[in-house]
Every structure is written in C-alpha cells, then in structure tokens.
Amino acid sequence: MHYGKIEKSIGYVFKNKELLKTALTHTSYANAHGVESNEKLEFLGDSILEFVTSKYLYNEYKDLKEGEMTKVRATVVCEESLYKIAVRHGFREFLITGRGEKITGEVKNKAILADSIEAVIAAMYLDSGLEPVEKFIISNLDKTIKLESKHVGIKDYKTVLQEKLQENGNVKIQYEIISEKGPDHDKQFVAQVLCNDKILAKGRGKSKKKAEMEAAKFALKGME
C-alpha cells in the first residue's frame, strides 16, 4: 500500500514504512493473517499523548489549576476527540481491518479509528523521536484545548443553583419536563425546577437539558 496520501495529511514522512503499516493494522486483520497488530503501539501512544498534552497545558496555560488541567486533558484526549482527528486525516481509507469491521469498505467503529491515532503517534515517536509527535498532537488539539480551557472553570447554572440551595443543608431539587411541542427536528421543551416540591422557575429549550439549564438560570435570577 502506498502511504503518501496519509503522510501528507499528517505532515510526517516515515523512514520505516513498516511502523506505519503496523500502526494501521487492527487485531481483526492481524489475528486472521498472522501479522502484528497495532495494540502495543496504541499502548505506548496513549502514554505519549497524555505526556505531550500535559506538558503543553503546563507550559502554555499557567493560570489553570492542577484539577482544571486534568479535566481539560481528559476532554481533549477522549475517544470522540481522537476519532475526529482520524476522520480529518482520512484514516478510514488506510486502516487494515477484518471484513467484520467495515461497512461498504469503510471502518465503522469509532474506537478503532480513535485507537489508530494513538498507534500512529507511537510509530512516529519510534521513527523519529518526540519532536514530530509534539507537532502533530498540538496542531490537532490546540484549538480544542483552547476552547476547553476557557470553560473548565465555569460552573453551569444547575451546579451553581444546587450549591446555593444547599448552603444551609440538604434540600430536594427536582427538574421536570412539563411540555414538549413541535416536530422531531424542531422540538421545544419546557422544564421546571423545584426545591422541596416548590416551583422556583421554568425554562425553555430545544433539548431537555437546555430547558433545565434555562430553568436553573431563571431560578438564580429570582434569588438575586
């Protein structure tokens, strides 16, 4: 297989193409054909990814506390985040998997795609050390890190309301969806928040979660 396209996309040309091939070989194919899978590379890549992200957060986000850095890191190195990187770089086209993992020729499993990013990171590290790895990781995650770092210290309205209501001891806080209108693609929900069975406020939103958040927001305004 020719890897020029994927190398161009990730911005790195492998000296040892076998490393890249192994990084893209899933166990479903490896077990059936007696070749090495990307599992061990994935294990190493997971640690490298955490280290590089931690180092970047430590150096670039001096105002974040330890707990906040942990939250940001957990968000940006999660399966969903890595899956998006794999899709962005066209990994679906190059992953070597068994037939059961494909639909119409494309890899169907998000976890397989996410894991392949960790494996390629390890392969890159073994091929050329940490420098190209850091460049690849940060170029793909810096926007997400920036976004998450802005929100990590901000508590949502439901959390703030709960803390305020429980300042003088435990109380019973409930959220109820009292109505929903509109077609499936354009639903409008109305939620109410209650404290010890007393209605505090109501809120509207295009999802149940947003309606509950609006109810908490109006309850907080009513307490000011």
Q: Would the pLDDT of 183 be above 90?
A: no
Q: Active-site residue 46, yes or no?
A: yes
Q: Which residue has the higher pLDDT, 223 or 88?
A: 88
Q: Would the pLDDT of 189 be above 70?
A: yes
pTM attached to this predicted model: 0.69
Distance of CA 112 to the CA centre of its chain: 15
Q: Would the pLDDT of 104 be above 60?
A: no
Q: Would the pLDDT of 182 be above 90?
A: no
User: CB under 8 Å to 20, separation ≥6 — which residues?
Assistant: 3, 6, 7, 14, 120, 123, 127
State the pLDDT confidence band at 102, using cuts at 50, 70 and 90: low
The pLDDT assigned to 154 comes to 63
Distance of alpha carbon 222 from alpha carbon 224, whole angstroms: 6
Instruction: Choose the catalytic residue: 42, 115, 118, 212.
Output: 118
Q: Which domains does the chain have, with CATH numbers?
A: 4-151 (1.10.1520.10), 157-223 (3.30.160.20)
The pLDDT assigned to 18 comes to 96
Which residue, chain included where needed, has tokens 């109505």? 179
Residues in the chain: 224
Q: Active-site residue 186, yes or no?
A: no
Q: Which residue has the higher pLDDT, 63 or 57?
A: 57
